[in-house]
Amino acid sequence: MENKIENISLPLKGEHLIMALKVADDLEDTERIKSLILEAIRLSEATILNYCEHKFEPQGYSIVVLIGESHASIHTYPEDKGVFIDYFTCGKIKTNIFKEYILKNLNVTQVIELATIQRGETND
């Protein structure tokens, strides 16, 4: 793919949201999980370029989404009612909107991990 997404010169820096959640949702509903992450990305005003997904046997689902500003992912573990979510962006993306949408739309029973890591050159 050769879309005309501008890659403006920036310092090598980014923001990386990491989440590990236990949820009461039906994680076998992979279409819902896919819609959830794609909508969260859209609402945060990032540019979705492409994604790959995989359904595991007997259960589990992964999707990684390539965005113009880096990537996002969800990995689900239905047997543990657990999900890992990453949202790594290098641009001026509304990461907080992504996070709030995810937390609002999953029935979270336990927040195991919820952190934002400043990536790369952070000393300015």
Q: Which residues bind a second copy (CB under 8 A)?
A: 1-7, 9-12, 14, 16, 18, 20, 22, 49-60, 62-66, 68, 70-71, 73, 75, 77, 79-80, 82, 84, 86, 88, 90, 112-113, 117, 119-121
Closest-CA residue to 93 (of 72, 79, 120): 72
Place of tokens 């990453």: 86
Which of 52, 51, 57 has its CA nearest to residue 28? 57
What is the nearest approach in angstroms of a second copy to the Cβ of residue 69? 9
Give 2 or 31: the residue with its C-beta nearer to a second copy: 2
Report the C-alpha gap between 36 and 46 in whole angstroms.
14
Residue 35 among the catalytic residues: no
30-43 vs 95-105: helix crossing angle, rounded to 10 = 150
Closer to a second copy by CB, 50 or 96: give it: 50
The two tokens of residue 124 are 């300015």
Catalytic residue (choose from 54, 70, 71, 73) = 70
Complex with a second copy: residue 51 or 97, whichever CB lies closer: 51
The verdict on whether 52 is a catalytic residue reads no
Which residues are catalytic, by number? 70, 75, 90
